A and B are shown apart, each in its own frame.
Chain A
Amino acid sequence: MSKRVGIEVSIALADVVGMANTDVVAAYPITPQTHIVEHLAELVADGELDAEYIPVESEHSAMSACMGSAAAGARTFTATAGQGLELMHECLYVASAMRLPVVMAVANRALSAPISVWGDHSDVMACRDTGWIQIFTENGQEVVDTALCAFRISEDNNVLLPTMVHLDGFHLSHVIEPIIMPEQSQVDAFLPPNKYPFFLDPARPQAMGDFAPPAIYTETKWAQEVNLQKSKETVLKAWKEFAEIFGREYKPVESYRCEDAKILLLTMGSYSETAMTAIDKMREQGDGENVGLLRLRLWRPFPTDELRKAVENADVLIILDRALSFGSAGGPVGMEIKSALYDVSKKPRIVNFVGGLGGRDITVGNFEELIKKGIDIAGNGSENEFEIFGVRE
């Protein structure tokens, strides 16, 4: 029977990548992701994981080596953060378009300048349109579970797309949490060997990554879009089978105390646990209206139907973004959700905050304040499309 152990989340993640019998890890150090790849290097060095560890000279080469490895048919993992993810940027599009099932952990980090090693979602939001499956995690247990599911989803021959597992830099990557580590037998039951159907093989020559003239480019992109949208079925199936083996259930949009809530707060990543505490406190104090929490776990493909369902009875939806989309009409998540709800006849009033940039804490008290302010703006209106919460102007 699996035991709950106290373990640093990055170490637990690396351990589970090891239990997945990963063949190739290609990685470059960047804070706050380093503990993940350091521990993988240790596992390989100690003979606990039989893999090739490629200590590449940049993140661009990390993703490039991962593409080569996945194309050769190997189970392939890397991890990065912040600037590293941006340096990979052009590779990300190619990995998804060429249907290469790479799994990558991203310890979400703010972007320069000014340089900041601390967490926010600027890095991932710049990569939201790269065609990867993207899943946000709330706590260490979810990180471990999502990493296992990521291999299963990416390598499914109906999917064959790369997956990013997002964990908030420091707030998740560097904390020690009680985590139920899986048994090897459970992992083996859940995760079949990687059977990449198009692996590069002299016995069966094929060309991968050809150049597309205008007569065919549109069709290749259409096929990719259909495939990514359709991957949601496999994500749901993987989570269902995961629950059967491990007893923990995951959904694209999670809700907390939403049954009787007319006011909803929506977050992504690790802040949701703090938000839950704030909501509990406000309910205990009988502080105005009942508030519930939505958490977007599946970011790509975007769970439009699940989101619409989740907000159908709400009057107000307060969205907390952890990234700016400079010069636009809101935070990236706020804009996306407004867009998803535009065609719905009955929809909540949406208030969009941006906060927690560059690792700034949002405390329980801050969340109470943010929710109250959101309710106030929803009632009285505001000239601003969105507001940077807690900024000293």
Chain B
Amino acid sequence: MENCTIYVPRLITKKENFAPGHRACIGCGEALAVRLAFKAIGQNVIVVNATGCVEIFTSQLPYTSWRVPWIHTLFENTAAVASGIESARKAMIRKGIIQDTKTKIVAIAGDGGTIDIGLQALSGAMERGHDFLYICFDNEAYMNTGIQRSSATPFGASTTTSPAGKESIGQFAWKKDMPAIAVAHNIPYVATANPSYPFDLMAKVKKGLEAKGPAYIQILSACPTGWGCPGELSVKIGRLAAKTGVFPLYEVENGKYSITVDFPKLLPITEYTSLQKRFRHLQPEMLEQIQQKVVRKYEELKEKTEMSGCCGQTGTEE
């Protein structure tokens, strides 16, 4: 660790395209994820941002945290706005109105803006094959409006609209499998990531940018405010999300699955859940049911990887 300041700048650019001084909560995993993603993305980009935490904490007039061109219009239409920008540039380059600067179009949104209200626009844009990267910063609920459930909220989590109570175990449905929905659109690149594994995250963002056509990356972003954990645990909780198999890190290149950070022996999910107040009401038998399903899902993912003929790298970045 003592040589960290010597080696890290050789691996990661010092340049911050996402400037400090924004208004995110202390320990925000999303702000960290955005920062890392934009180190990988660089400056030759146009960013389309959905309404949500990131948009709000980076853009209050007359300030901005963005050192790259950035546009926000509405909540559910980010992929559609991105498709308009991509098409406009394509037409104008062809007609000689602007030069071809190989500028990338990156759409960013939260889980609500992506997996709930923005799903139709995203599906349309992926189906039409626009050349853009869509990053979903998944903090597993509507955090900006006060921790309401989304379809990305994990089973059993207590939120303000899925509160745990005498008649409720909290979130009643299993987390919607958005990466699988993206894969079903036959797009060239789909991945999951997590800022606790920064090199894995940045490598995937670069691959997403290089893919010809739509790319989708879902980045789990710990939310101390919404998950009920101390801010200093964000990175640790992100690591545990991967190590327990709750949020596996994998990619799907042209339909081929590969687990990018594999753990031959998963940790018990309680290592992850016990650090977060949103799960504290869950009784052992319920946790056991969740445990079994997490393991089963992880096995399914491994099977897909084996069928794709890819093997994961065990415990990289440890």
Q: Enumerate chain A interface residues (CB-CB to B < 8 A).
A: 23-24, 26, 50-52, 54-58, 60-62, 64-74, 76, 90-91, 94, 98, 193, 200-213, 216, 220
Contact = CB atoms under 8 A, between A and B. Distances in A.
Contacts of B55: 211
Given A23-B92, A67-B81, A210-B60, 5 more contacts: A71-B84, A71-B85, A74-B97, A76-B88, A98-B73
B62 A54 contact: no
A202 B73 contact: no
Given A61-B80, A67-B84, A74-B92, A23 B70 contact: no
Choose among A76, A201, A210 the residue with the greatest number of B CB atoms under 10 Å from its CB. A210
A208 B69 CA distance: 8
Nearest to B125: A61
A211 B59 contact: yes
A238 to B, nearest CB: 22
Contacts of A90: 74
Interface stretch (B116-124, B147-155, B194-202): B116-124
B137 to A, nearest CB: 17
B45 A202 contact: yes
Contact of B77 (A23, A54, A91, A205): A91
A220 B60 CA distance: 13
Contacts of B90: 52
Nearest to A212: B61
A193 B97 CA distance: 10
Top 3 nearest A-B pairs (CB, nearest first) are A68-B84, A57-B124, A65-B84
A354 to B, nearest CB: 33
A231 B48 CA distance: 29
A114 to B, nearest CB: 26
Given A65-B81, A69-B84, A213 B60 contact: yes
25 contacts: A52-B87, A52-B90, A52-B91, A54-B128, A57-B124, A61-B120, A64-B121, A67-B84, A71-B85, A72-B46, A72-B88, A74-B92, A94-B74, A200-B46, A201-B69, A202-B44, A202-B46, A205-B67, A205-B70, A207-B64, A207-B66, A207-B69, A212-B61, A213-B60, A216-B62
Contacts of B124: 56-58, 61
Nearest to B101: A202
Interface string B32-70: 000000000001111010000001100111101011111
B84 A216 contact: no
B302 interface: no
B76 interface: yes
Contacts of A91: 73-74, 77
A71 B69 CA distance: 11
